[in-house]
């Protein structure tokens, strides 16, 4: 019971009668250093989709502080301006946002001054209930099919470490690695007394950073800009499809529904 109660503040749910839905995880945008053109274009695309749902991941802001490794001189916006810009950018899609979580860049301010920038952004957007602190656990019911979604920011890279979440879709942020794995599992239908095979997905999400100063200085490799979009289906056919954002944009422009 105590363990269950500790998770209650991290949970959200979505229910729709639509035949399919697109789940966007906008993580590691690093507004203040991240590519604003990319960020504005992906938000513009999301706004056009009636069946889009958005989780705002950690490191929404770059947020350099006096005691952090980053430097405000590298940013095109100071931290206070980054908050204002984030709210302005997300305002057109705030009705699609179902959860917002913190990243280590936002934690800098919370650690130094006990102020949650992430909660502030959610409140300024008028959706304070979407603030899920360090972890989001979502239940997406799409036309009777329920999909379990879990998103966390700063995570352990040990393989299969997070299997205990038992999620259909596990999104890991922070590393900007931009790849995913597909794993089959046996699902036991306790009513029909029959096993079946379902696919689960572990997604290492991308970012809006191309090749920032700190990455060059530390000798990190370059990373592609982008985010994954998870399409989930309703009705008789249960299905999960993982798209790169650019591929989904192109497919929909060609008439994909």
pLDDT band per the 50, 70, 90 thresholds, residue 166: very high
CA 207, 209, 214, 220 dihedral sign is positive
**Domains contained in the chain, number:** 1
CATH number of the CATH domain containing 61: 3.60.21.10
Which of 178, 59, 146 lies closest to 108, judged by CA? 59
pLDDT digits (tens, 9 = 90+) for 202-240: 999 999 998 777 778 778 888 889 999 999 999 888 999
CA distance 66 to 218: 19
pLDDT digits (tens, 9 = 90+) for 128-140: 999 999 999 999 9
Structural domain boundaries, residue 187: 2-253
Reading the block at residue 225, the tokens are 């800009």
Question: pTM higher than 0.75, yes or no?
Answer: yes
Reading the block at residue 128, the tokens are 């304070």
Q: What is the phi/psi pair of residue 93, to 5°?
A: -120, 20
């Amino acid at each position: 019971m105590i363990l269950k109660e500790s998770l209650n503040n991290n949970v959200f749910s979505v229910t729709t009668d639509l035949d399919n839905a697109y789940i966007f995880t906008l993580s590691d945008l690093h507004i203040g250093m991240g590519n604003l053109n990319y960020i504005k274009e992906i938000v513009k695309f999301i706004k056009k989709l009636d069946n889009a749902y958005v989780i705002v991941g950690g490191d929404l802001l770059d947020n350099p502080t006096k005691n952090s490794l980053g430097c405000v001189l590298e940013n095109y916006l100071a931290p206070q301006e980054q908050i204002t810009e984030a709210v302005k950018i997300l305002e057109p899609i705030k009705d699609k946002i179902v959860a917002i979580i913190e990243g280590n860049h936002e934690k800098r301010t919370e650690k130094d001054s006990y102020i949650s920038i992430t909660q502030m952004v959610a409140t300024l957007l008028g959706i304070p209930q979407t603030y899920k602190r360090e972890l989001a656990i979502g239940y997406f019911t799409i036309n009777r099919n329920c999909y379990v979604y879990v998103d966390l920011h700063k995570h352990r890279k040990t393989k299969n470490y997070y299997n205990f979440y038992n999620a259909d879709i596990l999104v890991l942020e922070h590393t900007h690695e931009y790849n995913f794995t597909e794993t089959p599992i046996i699902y036991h239908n306790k009513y029909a007394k029959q096993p079946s095979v379902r696919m689960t997905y572990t997604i290492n999400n991308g970012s809006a950073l191309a090749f920032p100063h700190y990455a060059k200085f530390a000798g990190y490799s370059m990373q592609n800009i982008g985010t994954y979009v998870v399409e989930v289906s309703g009705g008789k056919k249960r299905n999960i499809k993982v798209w790169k954002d650019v591929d989904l944009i192109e497919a929909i422009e060609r008439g994909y529904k």
